Amino acid sequence: MEEKTVFVHREGPVTTIKLNREDHLNAMDVELLNELAEVLEEVQNDESNIVVLTGKGKAFSAGGDMKTMLQSSDPKAFEDVMQKIKRVSTLFFTMPKITISALNGAAAGLGLSIALAADYVIAKEDAKVAMNFIGIGLIPDGGGHFYMEQRVGSVKAKQLIWEGQMMTAKEAKPLGLVDVVCENLDSTLSGYLTKLSQAPLLAMIESKKIINNEQLPHLEEILDQETKGQAKMRQTEDHKEGVDAFLNKRKPEFKGE
Domains in the chain: boundaries: 6-197
Nearest-CA neighbor of 237 among 254, 249, 212? 254
Mean pLDDT by 10 residues, the chain (257 residues): 82 96 95 96 95 97 85 81 96 98 97 98 97 95 98 98 96 97 97 95 98 98 97 93 89 92
138 and 239 Cβ atoms separated by less than 8 Å: yes
Continuous H helices in 12-56: 30-44
User: Which residues, 6+ apart, have CB-to-CB distance to 128 below 8 Å?
Assistant: 105, 106, 107, 108, 166, 167, 168, 169
Total Cβ atoms within 10 A of residue 55: 26
Nearest-CA neighbor of 134 among 118, 120, 148? 148
Burial of 194 (0-12, 13-18, 19+ CB in 10 A): exposed
Q: How much is the pLDDT for 247?
A: 86
Pick the CATH number of 6-197 from 3.40.50.10740, 3.40.190.290, 3.90.226.10, 3.30.1450.10: 3.90.226.10
Backbone angles phi, psi at 184, to 5 degrees: -115, 105
Q: How much is the pLDDT for 9?
A: 95
Backbone angles phi, psi at 55, to 5 degrees: -125, 155
User: Which residues, 6+ apart, have CB-to-CB distance to 69 below 8 Å?
Assistant: 243
DSSP string, 118-149: SSEEEEETT-EEE--GGGGT----TTHHHHHH
